[in-house]
Structure 1
Amino acid sequence: MTNLTIPQHGWPDEYVQRYRQAGHWQGETFGALLRSRAEQHPDRIAVVGGSKNLTYAQLDEHASAIAAGLLAQGFQAGDRIVVHLPNIPEFITVVFGLFRAGIIPLYALPAHRITEIEHFAKSGGATGYLCAAEHGGFNYLGLATTLQERCPDVEHVIVIGDATDRYTSLQDIEAAGANTDVLATASSAQDIAFLQISGGSTGLSKLIPRTHDDYIYTLRESARICELDGDSVLLCALPMAHNFPMSSPGFLGTLYAGGRVVLSLSPSPEACFELIKREKVTQCSLVPPLLMLWLDAAERSKPNLSSLRVIQVGGAKLIPEVAQRVRPTLGVTLQQVFGMAEGLVNYTRLGDDAETIIETQGRPISPDDELLIVDDDGQAVADGQAGHLLTRGPYTIRGYYNNPAANQRSFTEDGYYRTGDIVKLTPDGYLVVQGRAGDHINRAGEKISAEEIENHLLANPAVFDAAVVSVPDTYLGERSCAFIIPRNEKPRAVELKKWMRERGIADFKVPDQIIFVDTFSETAVGKISRKTLRAQLRAQLDTTQQNS
């Protein structure tokens, strides 16, 4: 068993005292949170997934049984288990069981495979791996076998479904801990509750340590800002291990508010529209590509979405051209969400005017969220100018787990996190996201926002979706390439360029190259993988040079 030291939260004592005195950190743990809700409304439905419904009392009982079973299996408080599950009720019973036992879940996304899981296990010092036997046609038991061959410290594999004779089933774990009440654990509110993965666009993900205190603060404030209560019904369609559907307000924020969580294995409009109608869903969260699919499907099928009040969109910037379609097409309030697993989360408020909701990505959760917007040299930009976003606050981490090299790059000496985002700040304190620093194109000294070009392209009725990336160029330094999914009949590239010029934009913003594709490669959480698009371009460039 690998006995890595779990680092503390890293906030200096003066900030710890400040956040406690402000009431941000209240000393509550996740294990106690669930028990409190189970005592308040034991018979209320907490989770719906497939054919299974769990009340708050049943969820609490499952969590205690899993905690007791894991401790009986030989796990100890502070151990790490990689949790690799789709959107099923067991995801929630498992993580609350781990919280009860003081064991630290390390979240993986269903689309992750052996390369990522091996990295998580090694860098996180995991001694266990918990997975579904099969999901989406993929056999996770084979991955588990390879993982144990490569990572001998992963002594335990726990499986939901057919565990075969080689592994332990979650059902057996629960049975071993049945009728055992586990509430008090070795965890305190200042301890790490779980490890998330970073959403960086290059390299393997870094591990993000989140404490009970800091994360429950975000749930409490997110539930308030999003106006959740016991009647709220959240549809969780994105992979629930991701920070956005977990806490913004996500399934954890909904449970904090005493509402109901409805799980969908598929984010498709066909699957989700039926669940919204059947379960009277009031809120859901999407990434922009999914929102566009929902909008197109709703225009065709005219589904019954009468219960739905709010659709949150985050994970990437929502283009205003698309944002404007939400209320007319779906009849709901759009709430933009801009945040990161490292901490800072911004929301447009439900009562904001249409221009603010469509044109901005919201303002921070906390009055103690500190924002700096700086130029390439680290100097503050003038009011209203775009720059690099740096932040620190009561729920923004002060360092990655077990990764000093990344910490040196990503954090300033005085504790600000370098987000990698380019933003502008409005006079009202709302952020307008220009894109990732890496998504900006430096073309002959002119810095171009990839998302600005995408915004123009998406205004063309022949374009369904667009992604713009930089291409190395010996003369210009970088040039732009637009990957485009056409809506119906493919337009000619020259016609699109002419159309963009007629919109009155600078000529250097017109894409130097346009490539038509049927689909975009996506990251595990459903974002467009710009890394893959750049790799395709590099491969084409290498082929051209070899043949010349």
Structure 2
Amino acid sequence: MNNKMPSTVQEVLHHAVARYGKKTAIIDGERTLSFEEVNERSLRLAERLSGLGLQKGDIVAVQLPNSWEFAVTHLALARLGIVMVPVNLMYRQKELSFMFSFAHVKAVVTIDRWRGFNHAEMMESLQQIVPTLDYIIVVGERKGPRQYSFQTLLNDSGLSLADREGENPFPSPDDPMLIMFTSGTESDPKAVVHTYRTFIPAHLHNGQEYGLTADDVMLCLTPMGHMFSLPMILMGLYSGATQVMLSQFSVERVLDAFSQHGVTFCVAAPAHLIDMLKGTDETKEYPSKLRLVLTGGTKIPVWMVKSFRQRFCCDVAAQWGMTEIGAGSFTRPNDAAHLASDTVGRACPTGEICIFDENHQLLPNGKVGEIGFRGQSLFKGYYKNETATRQSMTEDGFFLTGDLGWKDDDGYIHYVSRKKDIINRGGLKVHAAEIEEALLMHPHIRQAAVIGIPDERLGERGCAIVSLKEGTTFSLEEMQQYLLEIGMAKYKLPEYLKISNELPTTASGKVSKGVLRKQYEQLEVK
């Protein structure tokens, strides 16, 4: 790219304050913060954290909902060169004890209670297990006697607010900025290391491709702690857009935000969009200022794209990526409408995508193989796992993603499935994503996943696991008949059906296939 982007958070904030100053940067419920106030609060929190003894190179976990506190914490840590570990709000002691111990987490910023669960209390119990965990900083009113109040730290006037950012040691572009644990949908999670240089400039370029400007109002429905939404904080600050924080998803809350704040740009998982379609009336119009919805994380149903575009009068962009690479490809706002459902777009402006065979040889356009990525946003490696890092790369620097797809002559990537998401039924290959997309079109189904169940004769048979809309039913016979009626080949039909109240999901809204495989590996055939 010709135009040079900032590669530190300090540069992004200085740019934002100089250009947008008193304009509203964040709306969180009744609270609004200007660009100047976001800068000042993040600087103040950085000062307080430094006063506690936290310093460059320390590792701090953050377990917060989408909120102004999350954004300010993210910026404050980055200003100091402290490595942030964002963690899913649904994680409990089992997951966190592994992550905190593995990464030698020194402090955690968490919420006091969330949806009935006492996070502050859990963190206190983790201090007995994780010897490096010295500080617990709590957002909210209820904290333990040995914990620090986030609000008190911000309000404390005992430290100078002088801008010390000309002094050392402040972070350089190649210092580590983030350790992000992968979703672990297929196996135990790995810890991905991003530097300021791999995380910031490429995502700011992506923001320009999305068409973000100071006229935009952004809303992220996926968690800020996930790679899909985390870059949006810096994108919004750099472009001058206003960001609306929504701590919990519901169709009503999203519609209220659309109308109350004039949201123009929304980041959402397909599951969110499907819920919105099934929770609104197809005979009504829902007027809004929405211009673009960015979605991805899993195969995007054709019907969903068409229906959402029609009901909300906006463009829908498809994006493909992962923790290791950020947004690897996406459709642009001026792309033909069908490309958002047929493809996952073209490579991001600072990246390159090629398709490889099983011997890591390049495949021609139109041939299905493993998607490989290299570019500015490529991670530095897996934390404390050089072997996994080395095994994931080709000799010429492409990261092998584990996703299958093909590239057309115009450079658009057609996603097929995960490599491990193919059911081998007697030598016939069945892509689970194709069946899942069809099942999600059924009016009774909320969530759907298809996995392979070991079978002595055929190798594997398909098993569909679904959650249903309230008050509905669904049987194996209904499912098979429905799939046949829409033209599905008989050999692709799942031969088992399991109904679940709720399917386990990752932070980005993807169903956790690894969890389901473990749960149903001993499925009894009846």
Q: Give the TM-score normalised by structure 1.
A: 0.89
Give per-residue Cα distances to partners, 1:406-431, cap 9 Å, x unaligned.
Answer: 22432234332121111111211111
Tell me which amino acid in the other structure corresponds to 1:350: P
Give the direction of change, closer, same or farther, for the CA distance of 1:40–1:61 in structure 2 (3 Å limit): same
| 1:374 equivalent in structure 2 | 356
1:45 to 24, 39, 42: 24
Q: What does residue range 76-475 of structure 1 map to in structure 2 within 5 Å?
A: 76-161=55-140, 162-174=142-154, 175=156, 176-177=158-159, 179-184=161-166, 185-247=169-231, 250-299=232-281, 302=284, 304-343=286-325, 344-366=327-349, 369-461=351-443, 463-475=445-457
How many angstroms apart in 1 are the aligned matches of 2:283 and 2:220? 22
Which has the larger displacement, 27-36 or 456-465?
A: 456-465
Contact 1:235/1:262 (<8 A) preserved = yes
Tell me which amino acid in the other structure corresponds to 2:73: V
Give the direction of change, closer, same or farther, for the CA distance of 1:473–1:24 in structure 2 (3 Å limit): farther
Q: CA deviation at 1:283?
A: 1.2
How many angstroms apart in 2 are the aligned matches of 1:52 and 1:182? 28
Tell me which amino acid in the other structure corresponds to 1:280: G
Which has the larger displacement, 444-453 or 509-518?
A: 509-518
Q: CA deviation at 1:281?
A: 0.8
Tell me which amino acid in the other structure corresponds to 2:519: Q
Contact 2:275/2:446 (<8 A) preserved = no
Q: CA deviation at 1:439?
A: 1.1
Q: CA deviation at 1:291?
A: 0.9
Contact 2:269/2:509 (<8 A) preserved = yes
Give the direction of change, closer, same or farther, for the CA distance of 1:414–1:311 in structure 2 (3 Å limit): same
Q: CA deviation at 1:539?
A: 4.3
Give the direction of change, closer, same or farther, for the CA distance of 1:464–1:96 in structure 2 (3 Å limit): closer
Question: Match of 1:457, SS?
Answer: helix
Question: Match of 1:354, SS?
Answer: coil
How many angstroms apart in 2 are the aligned matches of 1:149 and 1:23? 51
Tell me which amino acid in the other structure corresponds to 1:86: P
Between the two proteins, what is the percent identity of the paired residues? Answer: 28
Question: Match of 1:481, SS?
Answer: strand
Is 2:526 the partner of 1:526?
Answer: no
Q: CA deviation at 1:462?
A: 5.1
| 1:7 equivalent in structure 2 | none
1:508 to 491, 495, 515: 491
Q: Hey, which of these two has a bigger chunk of helix by percent?
A: 1
Q: CA deviation at 1:534?
A: 2.0
Question: Match of 2:303, SS?
Answer: helix
Give the direction of change, closer, same or farther, for the CA distance of 1:255–1:107 in structure 2 (3 Å limit): same
| 2:47 equivalent in structure 1 | 68
Contact 2:282/2:311 (<8 A) preserved = no
Contact 2:106/2:134 (<8 A) preserved = yes
How many angstroms apart in 2 are the aligned matches of 1:101 and 1:288? 36
| 1:5 equivalent in structure 2 | none
Give per-residue Cα distances to partners, 1:464-499, cap 9 Å, x unaligned.
Answer: 543211111111111111123455643442243234
How many angstroms apart in 1 are the aligned matches of 2:354 and 2:382? 20
Q: CA deviation at 1:239?
A: 0.9
Question: Match of 1:78, SS?
Answer: coil
Q: CA deviation at 1:300?
A: 6.4
Q: CA deviation at 1:131?
A: 0.9
Give the direction of change, closer, same or farther, for the CA distance of 1:401–1:298 in structure 2 (3 Å limit): same
How many angstroms apart in 1 are the aligned matches of 2:16 and 2:6? 16
Give the direction of change, closer, same or farther, for the CA distance of 1:297–1:108 in structure 2 (3 Å limit): same
Q: Give the TM-score normalised by structure 2.
A: 0.93
Q: CA deviation at 1:257?
A: 0.5
Give the direction of change, closer, same or farther, for the CA distance of 1:458–1:88 in structure 2 (3 Å limit): closer
Tell me which amino acid in the other structure corresponds to 1:388: E
Contact 1:389/1:420 (<8 A) preserved = yes
Give the direction of change, closer, same or farther, for the CA distance of 1:505–1:231 in structure 2 (3 Å limit): same
Q: CA deviation at 1:460?
A: 4.4
How many angstroms apart in 1 are the aligned matches of 2:145 and 2:74? 24
Contact 1:219/1:256 (<8 A) preserved = no
Contact 2:288/2:312 (<8 A) preserved = no
Q: CA deviation at 1:350?
A: 0.9
Contact 2:5/2:205 (<8 A) preserved = no
Tell me which amino acid in the other structure corresponds to 2:34: T
Contact 2:195/2:379 (<8 A) preserved = no
Give per-residue Cα distances to partners, 1:2-28, cap 9 Å, x unaligned.
Answer: xxxxxxxxxxxxxxxxxxxx5576563
Give the direction of change, closer, same or farther, for the CA distance of 1:517–1:300 in structure 2 (3 Å limit): farther
Contact 1:448/1:509 (<8 A) preserved = yes
Give the direction of change, closer, same or farther, for the CA distance of 1:276–1:96 in structure 2 (3 Å limit): same
Give per-residue Cα distances to partners, 1:272-309, cap 9 Å, x unaligned.
Answer: 11111111111111111111111122226947441111
Question: Match of 2:189, SS?
Answer: coil
Q: CA deviation at 1:384?
A: 0.7
Q: RMSD of the alignment, in Å?
A: 2.2
Number of aligned positions between the proteins: 519
Q: CA deviation at 1:178?
A: 5.2
Contact 1:27/1:189 (<8 A) preserved = no
Contact 1:82/1:120 (<8 A) preserved = no
Q: CA deviation at 1:253?
A: 1.2
Give the direction of change, closer, same or farther, for the CA distance of 1:435–1:503 in structure 2 (3 Å limit): same
Gap runs ≥5 in structure 2:
none
